[in-house]
Amino acid sequence: MGSPSNTGRAIACYIGAFLLALPSAFLIFYTVRLLYVTRVLTAIRAGGQGAYVGAVVFPLLALLFGWGAWRLLKAARRA
Domain count, the chain: 1
- Cα torsion 31, 65, 20, 8 to 10°: value is 160
CB 34 within 8 A of CB 55: yes
- Domain residues for the domain of 74 are 4-78
pLDDT at 36 over 70: yes
What is the pTM for the complete model shown? 0.78
Q: Which residue has the higher pLDDT, 4 or 16?
A: 16
pLDDT at 3 over 80: no
Give the pLDDT mean for 17-43.
86
Write the pLDDT tens digit of every residue in 41-68. Answer: 665 556 655 667 777 889 999 999 999 9
What pLDDT sits at residue 38?
Answer: 74
